[in-house]
Amino acid sequence: MIEPERDAILLFVGDEVGPAIERMLTAHDKTVLCVRSVHEVAMLRQRNCNIQIAVLPDTLAGHDWWELWGELTLFDQRPEILVYSGTPTFQLWTGVLELGGADVISVPIEEEELTAAISAAFKSFKARSKGNESENLLGNGQGGR
């Protein structure tokens, strides 16, 4: 299993596209944790794994989307969320963005598109993490008013 302090991408494998995404990401030397249930996501959170990006399908057969999204928000640092879809509608796009997701990726997934989305999500996560560190310093009396 992954070391808790190591950065990783969580991939929810809910359909036939998941393994192809995993191959693309591991080919670029990314640490990918494949999960198939919300319970597995909760276990990673309890182990304090540093999940920077979560890649999710737009539909989750047999799983509750809200439960999964809720579990992701409970991580110490909420991961950037990318959703992939064979039919990326305006409604899906706006829903993902309104809930704090980073991007929607069209299926079939082009490696360049996935790489660009992952790169942007990593940058966003790191920028948000630095912002949280600054807020923590100020909140702990370390900063000035």
Give the span between the Cα atoms of 54 and 47, in whole angstroms: 16
Residue 91 structure tokens: 């409604």
Cβ distance 79 to 55 under 8 Å?
no
Residue 16 lies in a domain: yes
pLDDT over threshold 70, residue 116: yes
Q: What is the pTM of this model?
A: 0.84
Residue 2 lies in a domain: no
The residues near 84 (Cβ < 8 Å, ≥ 6 apart) are: 17, 21, 55, 56, 57, 58, 104, 105, 106, 107, 109
Residue 66 lies in a domain: yes
**Residue 144, pLDDT score:** 40
Q: Region 75-101: what's the mean pLDDT?
A: 91
What percent of the chain shows pLDDT beyond 90?
57
Residue 61 lies in a domain: yes
**Number of domains the chain is built from:** 1
Give the span between the Cα atoms of 105 and 86, in whole angstroms: 9
Domain region containing 11 = 7-139
Residue 127 lies in a domain: yes
The 10s digit of each residue's pLDDT in 42-78 is: 999 999 988 999 999 998 877 788 899 899 999 999 9
Q: Output the domain CATH number for residue 93.
A: 3.40.50.2300
What percent of the chain shows pLDDT beyond 70?
86
Residue 145 lies in a domain: no
Give me the amino acid identity at 108: P
Residue 144 lies in a domain: no
Give the span between the Cα atoms of 117 and 34, in whole angstroms: 18
Looking at per-residue pLDDT, the higher value among 107 and 1 belongs to 107
Looking at per-residue pLDDT, the higher value among 15 and 84 belongs to 84
